[in-house]
Amino acid sequence: CRFETCWPALMKDSHGVVIVFNPELPGHLKEIETWYSCFVQQQRLLDSQCLLIAHHKPGSVGHTEDLSLAYPLNKLKLVHSNLEEDAEDVRMEFIKYFRSIITFINESREKEEMSIIS
């Protein structure tokens, strides 16, 4: 929120949003609702264009794997990350997400080109 004046520049022409948060900090759960509203809903992005990453700091002992998020965040893809234990899993999830964004962009471009031709 400290850089809220920069948000319009970050949002311009965006095709996807990755929100990383610490699930062990209750304030972060409220903040991601704001980020979702501003970066996803106000930009009219689809939920499939958003990825939530609940990042667990090294040595954290909290059991947040069963993290329950409020609507509409509970509809989003949620990945738990702990780079000490499962860095490769996080990388693979991000690659899948990134590929889905590329596919979405290509399909949108094709639709736009077809509408121009028609």
User: How many residues does the structure list for the chain?
Assistant: 118
Q: Is residue 19 part of a domain?
A: yes
- In sign, the C-alpha dihedral spanning 94, 100, 102, 108 is negative
Residue 26 within a domain: yes
Q: Is residue 2 part of a domain?
A: no
Average pLDDT over residues 79-98: 89
pLDDT value for 56: 87
- Whether the pLDDT of residue 89 is over 60: the answer is yes
Tokens of 92: 């693979």
What is the number of structural domains in the chain? 1
How far apart (Å, rounded) are the C-alpha atoms in residues 92 and 97?
9
- Domain presence at residue 52: yes
DSSP letter at 80 equals E
Residue 14, domain member (yes or no): yes
pLDDT given at position 2: 67
Task: Give the pLDDT score at 10.
Answer: 86
Give 5-59 pLDDT, tens digit per residue. 888 888 888 999 999 999 988 888 889 999 999 999 999 999 999 999 999 887 7
Does residue 110 sit within a domain?
yes
Range of the domain at 50: 10-59+66-117
| CA–CA separation, 25 and 117 (whole Å) | 51
Whether residue 1 lies inside any domain: the answer is no
Question: Is 74 a domain residue?
Answer: yes
Structure tokens at 90: 């996080």
pTM, full prediction: 0.83
**CA angle, residues 28, 72, 105, in degrees to nearest 5:** 100
